[in-house]
Amino acid sequence: MHETDSMVMEFSVPNTLESEIDELITHYPEKRSVTLMALHALQAHFGFVSDAGIEWIAQKLDQTPLAVLELVTFYPMFSREPLGKFHFRICRTLSCALNGSEKIYWALCEQLGLDKNVHKRQTTPDGRFTVEFVECLACCNKGPVLFLNEDFHENMTEESVSKLLTICNGDNSSERKGTGK
C-alpha cells in the first residue's frame, strides 16, 4: 500500500481540481463534509486513491489521514490500486444473481485470463482490464446488469459481454472513458 518516495514526490493535484475542491468546501459548515467528494475527484483524476492522495485530502480538510483512510476502506468504490482502463463492475445482488450474473463474471474472467473463483477486484497484468462483483446497481428489472466504467449495460448475456470485450480490445486510445452506449 505504500508508494515509493519517487511516487510520493510525483503526486501533485492540478490547480483546477484543487480549486474545485476549495469551492466545494464553501458549501458546507464543516470542511470534513467534503471528504467523500474529494476522494471521488482524486480517484477520477488519478485512477485510484493513493496514500499521498489521502494525506493531501487530510491536510486540506483538517482531518487525520487515519480518518480519511477509514472512509476509503469503508466504501468499496474506492480503489487503493490503479484500476484498469476498462473497469467492469458486475452486480451480484439478488435479482441479477438469479438471472445469471455469475455466468457473466465467469465469462469475463475466462476471456481475460483472470481467476473466476476469486471474488475480489482483479486487474489483468497489462493493467487494461479490472473486473469485480459489486452490489445492487439499482436496475434490478434488467438484470444481469454491469457497469463498464461509467456506463450501464443491461440484460447481459455471455454473448453480449464478449461483444463488449471486443469493442474494448479494439480501443487503443489512452484515455479512460465509457463505451458510449
Pairing of strands 86-91, 151-153: unpaired
Q: Pick one of ligand FES, another protein, none as the site partner of residue 137 (Cβ within 5 to 8 A by kind).
A: ligand FES
Binding to another protein by residue 74, rule CB under 8 A?
A: yes
Binding to ligand FES by residue 93, rule CB under 6 A?
A: yes
Cβ at position 135, least distance to ligand FES in Å = 8
Q: What cell numbers appear for 90 in the block?
A: 458486475
Cβ at position 154, least distance to ligand FES in Å = 9
Cβ proximity of 124 and 112 under 8 Å: yes
Q: Which is nearer to ligand FES, 38 or 96 (CB)?
A: 96
Tell me, by CB under 8 A, how many residues bind another protein. Answer: 13
Alpha-carbon Rg for the chain in angstroms = 18
Helices 35-46 and 51-60: crossing angle, nearest 10°? 140
Q: Where are the alpha helices (DSSP H) in 47-90?
A: 51-60, 65-74
Q: Which residues contact ligand FES by CB under 6 A?
A: 91, 93-96, 136-140, 143, 145
Q: Which residues contact another protein by CB under 8 A?
A: 1-2, 51, 64-67, 69-70, 73-76
